[in-house]
Amino acid sequence: MVEVFEVLPGIFRIRYEYRDSIGYSSVYLVVRDKEAALIDAGTLLDSGKDVFKVLKRVGGTDVRIRYIVVTHPHPDHIGTLAWIKRKSRAEVFCYEGVGEVLKSPVRIFKENFSLGFASRLKLRATEPIFNDQEISGVDVDHELKNFESIEVGDYKFRTYHTGGHCRGHMALYERSLELLLSGDEVLCHPSSPFKFFMDKTGNSKMRERALKVFMELKPKCLLSLHDEPRMGMEAQIAIEQALEAHKIWKSTILDVVSEIGEGSAKDVYEHVKIRIEGLWTGALEFLGVLTTSVFLSELEEDGKVIRKENGKRAIWGIS
Ligand SMILES: [Zn+2]
């Protein structure tokens, strides 16, 4: 069942069913006069038809979707993309360099998530929203640059490249509304600010920088894809908490490596998981391991840990 809320004038949140794994799945419709834009495109299990139903209800019969903006190319946000693009003939926008990935999204499972054949097969069965066989690609119409604007009626969304959660991740900011659409960079799951992740192409320094930029923007409304909207002071508190959680995860990793001497990212994550409550488990535990790897790479850059190869697997130790 979908729920629809008008968060701000003309900004509609379509919230799909809650799942323990990813929390909510959401998309945003911006409707101004006879123009609309769709921000992200839900999971494979969400219905693209709902988007058109909502559009008709809130905008009438002659409103059309001009743009579909993809904040980042993860499977849980592009599940209905190809279908909606075909139906609406909207132009698809993404950040610079992401177009190639959206053409053939199956590559994400290997390149971003580091999943081999057996893991992908298992994931298909346990989490059907991450079925690598089902996600269709699209041709992107325009790759956005940093700080480029997208106009929808009187609203002007400015892109902020963040690149923390994954390569080419961007957020959108609308100044007159003081609205930040943060994609998956803040509030990645409703259960805890610790439940965020960075995939193999992500970057922990860039995430930290992005969260600091968001704090300076002081949005009065923070919209994310997996959690509820945060309004007023709540928006700033959520960003502060995300930054705090980010720093705690990183420092816990360093503590663990110092204590155990050496181990793989998976070994390190096993220990981190005991110290920080509410991290990734079950079918999506690999996201926790990936995030740990990204942090370890940053710690290596800073000269705090060293990477030793042990066959194919990286082993991390204290420097
Ligand atoms: Zn997501």
- Residue 1, CB half-sphere, CA atoms under 13 Å: how many? 1
Angle CA(243)–CA(102)–CA(173) in degrees, nearest 5? 40
Predicted local distance difference test score (pLDDT) of residue 319: 83
Q: Are strands 230-231 and 221-223 parallel, antiparallel or unpaired?
A: antiparallel
* Residue 78 CA to ligand 1 centre (angstroms): 10
d(CA 221, CA 270): 35
Buried b (16+ CB within 10 A) or exposed e, 202-221: bbbebbbebbeebeebebbb
Q: Which residues surround ligand 1, an ion (CB under 5 A)?
A: 76, 184
What local confidence, expressed as pLDDT, does residue 317 receive? 93
- According to CATH, the topology of domain 247-318 is Arc Repressor Mutant, subunit A (1.10.10)
C-alpha 76 to ligand 1 mean position (Å): 5
User: What is the reported pLDDT for 310?
Assistant: 73
Residue intervals of the chain classified under CATH 3.60.15.10 are 3-243
Q: How far is the CA of 42 from the centre of ligand 1 (A)?
A: 9
How far apart are the CA of 113 and the centre of ligand 1, in A?
A: 13
| Ordered per-residue pLDDT tens for the chain, 319 residues | 799 999 999 999 999 999 988 999 999 999 998 999 999 999 999 999 999 999 999 999 999 999 999 999 999 999 999 999 999 999 999 999 999 999 999 999 999 999 999 999 999 999 999 998 899 999 999 999 999 999 999 999 999 999 999 999 999 999 999 999 999 999 999 999 999 999 999 999 999 999 999 999 999 999 999 999 999 999 999 999 999 999 999 999 999 999 999 999 999 999 999 999 989 998 899 999 999 999 999 999 999 999 998 777 899 998 8
According to the model, what pLDDT value does residue 313 have?
A: 81
Residue count (the chain):
319
Residue range(s) in the chain whose domain bears CATH number 1.10.10.10: 247-318
Amino acid, res. 90: A
What pTM, to 2 d.p., does this model score? 0.95
C-alpha to C-alpha distance for 284 and 235, rounded to whole angstroms: 27
pLDDT at 312: 75
For the domain spanning 3-243, the CATH number is 3.60.15.10
Cα–Cα distance for residue pair 236/255, rounded to 1 Å: 29
User: CB pairs under 8 A, 24+ apart, for 206-210?
Assistant: 206/162, 206/163, 206/164, 207/162, 207/163, 207/164, 207/165, 207/246, 208/164, 208/243, 208/246, 208/247, 209/164, 210/160, 210/162, 210/163, 210/164, 210/171, 210/185
207 C-alpha to ligand 1 centroid (Å): 15
Q: What is the arrangement of strands in the sheet containing 313-318, beginning at the earlier edge strand?
A: 262-263, 313-318, 305-310
